[in-house]
A and B are shown apart, each in its own frame.
Chain A
């Protein structure tokens, strides 16, 4: 009954007035920003991250977590009502929007809210049970194993988020190289600083994130110049009992799928919702209706989305390796707050860990009682024309960048990443793996150099250790499989564009 004891301890920390308030603010603001087209969880977190600097550590992390799942809910709301897809809500566009066309918007929103709640609750039980145990496994990891694990993460993320191993890996490597800017920890030598004093401590996380996800996205949206008509239909939130009963089984299935996929490297909400949707189409009692606006098509994926978002915290908090770009950003936030996520985090900051876990459940309740009924007011954000919105987002980018070091030079760094990010977006290179590479780069170098030091310069160490050997073997298999797929597609049908996964 350790878990219950620990959770009770966590609730003690999460249920202070202050932390409750941070949680509520995070959920609402996250939902609001997440609603906006083009601003997914990554952009939302990086925009709001600087505002948490002056808040106490536990409160800041609770608020950030709230922003994260708030943004996810906001994404699915804009997907259901207006068919605006974000990375984390592509599936919600299918059945959710079909339900809106049938005039059942309220039911879809309610289903998404309740399913998220169920998914989140299941995931938190998994999180509370698994994270401490996995933390003990992580203590067995040596530097070579960490190196292999990070490379494995790169390969998985590249494949899942961009659909192309080559593009994603290249972006990871660009991120790693950007992480090299600054002072080398081992020798104290300054690398790639070009003599600029602002680069001595490296490029700021906020500058990279705001440049690539904030400014680049705004510029891209300006190019498209679509005017969105705000949603104006009626919203009846309360479902009938038979409708409500249909939510439960799908949501439970989605929770299980999401919790599992959220833990795997490269996993997370995007892949979880596709998997949950696919499973519901196979096994649901109403599988014929799915695709034409069925409750199950919304419930399963919403639960999986939310569950995966929660369980993706497990590798970060127990092993110390983020498994996707959002978690990489979260890790950056932890480090800015002076906390190193990893096997020792749970032992050294139990109040923080269990407080965060408990606050996730509280945040779930807030989503349900606060955001679901307020949806129709939140949707009024779409009445703001883009001409007003984008200068405001730029303002938040500037204020955020400035307030990290109180240095105006950082704004220029952010602007240059905006330029680079725009080029990446236009060349259809997804900047999400770049973020992961940027955060993991210094850790990768550290562990790589330490492994070689231990083995006296021999690369054997990566193959001989069972954990790293297995992981590297998996990577090799994956690369060979991808090469084979590519060769076969070019040989059989001649030159043709490579099919891209719709998850991109």
Chain B
């Protein structure tokens, strides 16, 4: 396979490309600011909430489990970086590298199983739990 540890391609077209992209974006934004209409009516300055009046600001304290996703991402994406580096030097590292990465991936899987077990991967309501509670309720009513 070709050795690509030396970067022998020219890089300035990348910068030129970035400059043209930046110019295009600024041009589009400026042009739409100039061409677009600007008017002021009774409800122009209100946020859209399905046609009714706004009920409080959207700067609310939103109880989000999404932080869990962020933590999962940090764990698995940083570990993905190690796997990527190993994949790059795959043939040079040989079986020794393979065994090393196997141990590493087994650790990953253990973490995954643990997170699965404590319910960190359940994002919605658990339908089995809901059904169980529902059946219990039905049973109590019929008695």
Q: Do A and B come from one complex?
A: no
Q: Which residues of A contact B (CB under 8 A)?
A: none
